[in-house]
Amino acid sequence: MDALRIDLEDAEFKRMIAHLSAPALTKATRRATRKTAAWVRTHLARKAANQAQIPRRIIATRIRLYNQNWRSGGGGTAVKVWFGLNPVFADTIGKATQGAGGVKVGSFYFPSAFIPGKNPRFAGKVYQRSTAHRLPIMRSRVEMEGDGRAAYDAIRKSIEPRFVEIMRQEINYELLKAAGNAR
């Protein structure tokens, strides 16, 4: 788990915050935190999909946002971004095509894999033998842990500047709202 803490000790922020009430500042902070987490989810899915060569729709279902206000005991606003890095079943990536030496799914090739044809319960699923014998068999999987971690490492440096940018926008919005000029 990687906790990211951001402190706003900028003089410009202090000047802007001085004109806000505590509830308005809390609302701005919550919105900025939530929008930053959504930005992280979007960019993490985009990067991981490109690196792992897995469709983004599959990766997007593995990224979840959890609001952490109730856990922190009122000590601050936090959002947890959870990214599931378990292997992906090969047949969920795309249409599986049986060849002479194995199965191709998207840009992945699984040598000696097969698609069972007799039982409709297994239709479209890709299996491989887990030993040299006939049985047992297991579903073919694509590892994504390395690509997922690399994607997070690539966007980690840009999270804090993005939060600061969104926080400025939200504080400005609250100031406009207080002045009666907000849309």
Give 33-70 pLDDT, tens digit per residue. 999 999 999 999 999 999 999 999 999 999 999 887 65
29 and 53 both lie in a single domain: yes
Quote the pLDDT of residue 69: 64
Quote the pLDDT of residue 138: 93
Q: Which tokens is 103 given?
A: 């199965």
- Mean residue pLDDT of the chain comes to 88
78 and 153 both lie in a single domain: yes
pLDDT confidence bin for 76, thresholds 50/70/90 = low
67 and 152 both lie in a single domain: yes
Give 83-95 pLDDT, tens digit per residue. 999 999 999 999 9
Our count of domains for the chain comes to 2
Domain limits for position 27:
11-87+144-179
Contact between residue 64 and residue 118 where contact means Cβ atoms under 8 Å apart:
no
Cβ-in-10-Å burial (0-12, 13-18, 19+) of 146 comes to exposed
In a domain, 23, yes or no: yes
Residue 10 scores a pLDDT above 80? no
Q: Which tokens is 62 given?
A: 């593995």
pTM of the model: 0.85
